[in-house]
Amino acid sequence: MDDSKPGNPRLLRFPYEKLKTMEVRQDDIFLTTYPKSGSHWVLRIITSIVRGTDIDTTGLPAPEHPFVEIMLNEEEDDDPRLLLAKKKDGHPVNFHPSMMKSPRVMATHAPYDLLPTQFHEKRPKMIYIARNPKDLAVSAFKQFGGPPFQMYDEFPQFLEEFLNGEAIGNIGHWGSHVLDWWKRRHDNNVLYLKYEDLKKDPRAGIQNIAEFIGKDLTPEDIDKIAHHCSFDYMKKAFQDDAYMKAFGWKEHPFVRRGKVGGWKETLTVAQNEMIDNYCEQWLKGTGLEFEME
């Protein structure tokens, strides 16, 4: 990754060495995804279920439902815009996950083998969201290729690095990320979901997540969460988000459309075939399949 590229923030260098030693509680609720797989969307759903459906999670300070990578970044290593956003979003100085009240709801992009060591011992609940790589790649390029990151000038360059597992910080291959959790989908502390299924029937997805967490929801509760966590609602709400303002995502939306099949507006025939071959390499024989449109 080219550090001289304008707008390239250190927040894409995730502090996984610190994550490995983080204390884990048995009643923690983790969400993990490969970037641009619906993490902010599902994090809002989980937070709404845990905190009560009468609470609109819009405006909740980040420490109430954080990404642990952001919390664990040392202040001196942070992008100045990230420091500004933290202050405006209610992040106390040197805030740490240990300061959160239980049950903690936390999100991460960490690959399976870089999770906290105690995760495997205490076995808290983990919700995993997987998204098809075609929509994911296009969405990631729209975010990291344009302002404020401006890490890529051309989509072909980004796609090549994405398929090589080099495009987004130190997260690695999409194929490895989704398969590591797919192999553990039958573990009683793991809920494996697909972005496309949630988009197709969000109410069923909300109910599924609630049952996994151990929360009873009425049909009215589900309706409230579906409304507050819809893409249209979130897109408007994110206009006033401290992070969105600090990084310029108000003009270049972080929450775009979330459309399944939107890749067809960007990918060439050759690029589409490249990703098909990539999926063949990673997913053949695993039973894991994705709806692409």
Domain residue limits, the chain = 10-283
Write the CA distances from 80 to 11, 19, 73, integer angstroms: 10, 22, 12
Positive or negative torsion for Cα 273, 277, 278, 280? positive
Q: What is the DSSP letter of 288?
A: -
Catalytically active residues are 109
CATH number for 10-283 (one of 3.40.50.300, 1.10.3720.10, 3.40.50.2020, 3.40.1190.20): it is 3.40.50.300
Q: Phi/psi at 126 (nearest 5 deg)? A: -130, 125
Asked if pLDDT for residue 218 goes beyond 50, the answer is yes
Q: What is the mean pLDDT of residues 209-215?
A: 97
Cα 92 to chain center, whole Å? 23
d(CA 240, CA 250): 8
> CA 247, CA 89: separation in Å to the nearest integer?
13
Per DSSP, the chain holds a count of helices (H) and strands (E) of 14, 4
Q: Give the C-alpha separation, 204 to 186, whole Å.
A: 19
pLDDT of residue 91: 55
Show the tokens assigned to 265.
């507006």
At 39-84, the pLDDT tens digits run 888 998 999 899 876 655 554 445 455 778 777 765 545 556 566 6
CA dihedral (74, 78, 83, 89) in degrees, to 10, reads: -70
pTM here is: 0.84
Instruction: For residue 104, give the DSSP letter.
Output: P
Q: Which residues contact 206 (CB under 8 A, 6 or more apart)?
A: 45, 49, 217, 222, 225, 226, 229
Residue 11 pLDDT greater than 50, yes or no? no
- Write out the two tokens for 98: 């240990």
CB 151, CB 162: distance < 8 Å: no
Task: List Cβ neighbours of 230 (8 Å cut-off, separation of 6 or more).
Answer: 202
User: In whole angstroms, what is the distance from residue 111 CA to residue 181 CA?
Assistant: 9
Average pLDDT score, the chain: 81
Main-chain dihedrals φ then ψ at residue 129, nearest 5 degrees: -115, 125
| C-alpha neighbours within 13 Å on the C-beta side of residue 42 | 35
Each residue's pLDDT tens digit, 150-189: 678 889 989 999 999 887 777 889 999 999 999 999 999 9
CB-CB contact of 50 with 29 (8 Å): yes
97 contacts 2 by C-beta, under 8 angstroms: no
* Of residues 271, 205, 220, 200, the one with CA closest to residue 53: 220
Residue-level pLDDT at 2:
42
